[in-house]
Amino acid sequence: MERTLNPAVAHMDESLIREMTRVAEECGAVNLAQGFPDYPTPEAVLDAARAALREGRNGYTRTWGDPALRSALARHLREFWGLAYDAEEECVITCGASEAIMATLLSLLAPGEAIVVPEPIYENYLPASRLARAEVRLLELDPFTGRWDPTALDEALTGAKVLVLNTPANPTGKVWRLEELETLAELLRRHDCLLVTDETYAFITRPGQRHVPPATVGDLRGRTVTIGSFSKTYAVTGWRVGFACAPRPLMEGIRRAHDFFTICAPAPFQAALVEALKLPESYYTDMAASYRRRCDLLRAGLAETGFITGDPDGSYFLLLDVSSLGIEDDRTWSVAFAKERGVAGVAGSAFLLRGMPREDGRAPDRRGTFLRLSFGSSEARIAEAIRRLKGA
């Protein structure tokens, strides 16, 4: 059967995140594996969705996205982040950031071209790169401090076409700082390399720690595709709406790929999200503060159980340091942890190239150093997870 599949698909694992959700359901563990936001979707946005459905806005929208949403998005990006994109020419509304990532990488990368991916990796970049038959090169980040080596990046970028960056990052919680992005801009300019940034968690940062969109730094805008999502910001992960913005020559290819992937994102939800983009600044600051409270609660509880954790600046993921446990196969270990301790997280090797299925058939290396826990869950759920970890 494998011979009939594209090797890029034959060597894809089922997403471990979704697998751990199933494990949590089966064994009754608190699910801190999947990062869905346990946060109320604003009433005004829900009302707008109901109205859109009632008004019969159920057909395809323009392929590039509902013009009202694109123009609201361009205004929002300008007002919040100082990003200047033209709604007509430089934006596309996609089925989530997931589709934007696929459409972007498949439209930019030809077989054999190289893409540089910081590791730990958010799980979607690798399947997209493999489907494009691109050569994947890694830039190692320290999962807990986010430190990286500019010389190693310089080397990795030699002859590469694309660097993909995720800020704030899943799973590390790293928020790339302005000085780091300036170093990056210089390296990308020197290597004439494109940048694809995934800013799905732009609004989920530690209070006082502001996200810096890479396209606002130096001359990066001209070589950058900015990808974002409505999923987490407005707690609508199931609506499947995200976006990509880029200068016209890059956008043309992304729009073409998007057209043939999905035609358009769901019409009534695009209409409703115009309302979301009218929410006041306090919505975003309240949300960020709420996630930080959950992060502090989880960190404090874990500290009482003796676990060492990271201290993320953004996203809603916390890494548990399990490097001292000598774990040989962290996937098996994380399933046992969910069953025995009653809390499901995601094994760190799911975010490392060495832990993923290999096309040469060799066994993946799943020696475990960290477990990813999500604090997107409610405070009650986090408190229950801590209670179980304490064995109470």
Ligand X SMILES: Cc1ncc(COP(=O)(O)O)c(C=O)c1O
- Binding of ligand X by 237 (CB under 6 A): yes
120 vs 342, which CB is nearer to ligand X? Answer: 120
- Binding of ligand X by 66 (CB under 6 A): no
The H or E element containing residue 256 is helix 248-262
Residues forming a β-bridge with 31? 344
Q: Of 198, 275, 313, 330, which lies in the binding site for ligand X, with binding defined by CB under 6 A? A: 198
- How far is the C-alpha of 143 from the C-alpha of 120, rounded, in Å? 7
Per the CB < 8 A criterion, the answer to whether 147 and 170 are in contact is no
Of residues 89-128, those binding ligand X (CB under 6 A): 96-98, 122
- Binding of ligand X by 129 (CB under 6 A): no
Number of residues that bind ligand X (CB under 6 A): 13
- How far is the C-alpha of 373 from the C-alpha of 345, rounded, in Å? 5
- Which x/- pattern over 18-37 shows residues binding ligand X (rule: CB under 6 A)? -----------------x--
- Binding of ligand X by 167 (CB under 6 A): no
For residue 90 the two structure tokens come to 């430089």
Residues forming a β-bridge with 196? 164, 225
- Binding of ligand X by 377 (CB under 6 A): no
Look at residue 206 and give its three-state secondary structure. Answer: coil
232 vs 299, which CB is nearer to ligand X? Answer: 232
Per the CB < 8 A criterion, the answer to whether 234 and 45 are in contact is yes
Exposed, middle or buried by CB within 10 Å (0-12, 13-18, 19+), for 63?
A: middle
Residue reference for tokens 């205004």: 75
Q: Of 172, 229, 262, 369, which lies in the binding site for ligand X, with binding defined by CB under 6 A? A: 229
- Which x/- pattern over 345-364 shows residues binding ligand X (rule: CB under 6 A)? --------------------
- How far is the C-alpha of 246 from the C-alpha of 227, rounded, in Å? 9
Q: Of 120, 173, 214, 242, which lies in the binding site for ligand X, with binding defined by CB under 6 A? A: 242
**Least CB distance to ligand X at residue 112 (A):** 26
Of residues 261-280, those binding ligand X (CB under 6 A): none
- Binding of ligand X by 200 (CB under 6 A): yes
Helix axes 43-54, 267-276, angle to 10 degrees: 150
Which residues of the shown chain bind ligand X in the complex (CB under 6 A)?
35, 96-98, 122, 166, 170, 198, 200, 229, 231, 237, 242
